[in-house]
A and B are shown apart, each in its own frame.
Chain A
């Protein structure tokens, strides 16, 4: 695959050290290579959309960043520190549980299938981790959960259980739940893929609002090309475990350079 272009340098070149850096990160299941020496820098506050056909490794990028998948090679840097390894006596060694937990504190994730806790109300879902992990008092975490649920437009659903909410509402609770941990980086893994079409908009609106109001670094895997085009600072097109092409949305969607990108965008356009 020599025709794969490395892609131009990111449009908004990161100043200083990036918030997230993938340094030659490789991930494989046995002989099957999911990600091949991935290089990706994300600046603080940058919003990166990841697109690509299924099986291209795009969800794996987020899952590795959340430490849900171990990596087979390379280093992931978050906020200037290695994620799954740590410095000891000048050498990088595999991270211990304490380091992992400190690093996870910088990252929040929203899942395709919400993964809300079914036995807790919307408010309790948002309070649980602040209480048990951050050690906040009940009153503090409740105030925080309440505020965030109001922000995602669910101020009237605090005491509802997930099953009593629509998919879009559940996903908004999940966003509030992740935000309650005050992460620096937010990961959105196909957050609208499991939703009925009429519910997609309300979730995207919440994400737009986060982009406007909060100073968050965001990585999102998405199939919503329109949203990626309008919202992201940069779009990365993944193909076969590599970044095939990346650039500002106007460039990537308007005049893609790579043949595979064109094919993919054409196919997506036909489908919608």
Chain B
């Protein structure tokens, strides 16, 4: 997102907020919806953490693992990228219990979304690591570092900067995808909206408020990632040669 469109977003959000606020149902619906939003935030945060962990492990396994592990990573990435998030969610929710693995719907939600986004993130990590100039690897060999030392101290710190913007997009995709957890009875923002809509039929008001809440959360992610990018870039910009 450009800074310009960010401002546009802010203006529109403000306008939408005003319109929404003028609705009669505003006071009536907002508290319930905010309760759902809290669950959405929880799933988003959990999913983000899980996705980063899964992505880094899968990417490193795919790049440097011995063949069985590499194969496993490829299968994970292809399956989670090749099928849809909702199918994965339902599979974990309906099928896993048959293997004796019963989890809370909230856990299933975080697991499904985190693993789903992690598969996409693995390719982001891989791309960023591959984009670190070859000379950096050669320098680590000349300095007799082993691969783990080289990755941890030299390569990954440089790759992280390139990863932040695409991760920002992935986190927003994850936030948006959390809406589907309402379909496995997790009482998130989308779930509350459907519930209220089913009892009151005041669709426009309810869903407008909901959309604005989602937009606000997405903007928070964007702003946060921008901050992070600025911080990381400052660390590396000093170091980027010319």
Q: Which residues of A contact B (CB under 8 A)?
A: 66-68, 97, 101, 104-105, 107-109, 111, 113-120, 128-129, 132-133, 161-164, 170, 177-178, 181
Contacts and interface: CB of A to CB of B under 8 A. Distances in A.
A118 B146 CA distance: 19
A111 B138 contact: yes
Contact of A161 (B139, B149, B239): B239
Nearest to A118: B239
Contact of A113 (B135, B143, B146, B237): B135
Interface in B99-136: 133, 135-136
A137 to B, nearest CB: 17
24 contacts: A66-B138, A97-B146, A104-B142, A105-B144, A108-B142, A111-B135, A111-B142, A115-B136, A115-B138, A116-B139, A117-B158, A118-B158, A118-B240, A119-B236, A119-B239, A128-B154, A132-B145, A132-B149, A133-B143, A133-B144, A133-B146, A163-B239, A164-B238, A177-B143
Task: Please give me the 9 A-B residue pairs with the lowest Cβ-Cβ distance, nearest first.
Answer: A118-B239, A129-B143, A115-B135, A115-B139, A161-B238, A109-B142, A104-B144, A161-B239, A119-B239
Contact of B237 (A67, A116, A163): A163
Given A97-B146, A133-B149, A119 B141 contact: no
Interface of B: 133, 135-136, 138-139, 141-146, 149, 153-154, 157-158, 235-242
A72 B203 CA distance: 72
Contact of A101 (B135, B144, B239, B242): B144
B145 A129 contact: yes
A80 to B, nearest CB: 19
B238 A67 contact: no
Chain B CB count within 10 A is highest, among A108, A113, A117, A164, for A117
A232 B149 CA distance: 35
B113 to A, nearest CB: 32
A148 to B, nearest CB: 13
B242 A128 contact: no
A133 B149 CA distance: 8
Given A105-B144, A129-B145, A163 B139 contact: no
Given A68-B138, A118-B236, A128 B157 contact: no
Contacts of A132: 145, 149, 153
B154 A117 contact: yes
A181 B236 CA distance: 25
A105 B145 CA distance: 10
Contacts of B138: 66, 68, 109, 111, 115
Given A104-B144, A181-B143, 8 more contacts: A101-B146, A109-B138, A111-B139, A115-B133, A119-B235, A120-B239, A132-B145, A163-B237
B146 to A, nearest CB: 7
A178 B142 contact: yes
Contacts of B133: 115
A187 to B, nearest CB: 8
A196 B238 CA distance: 21
A93 B218 CA distance: 58
B212 to A, nearest CB: 40
A92 to B, nearest CB: 22
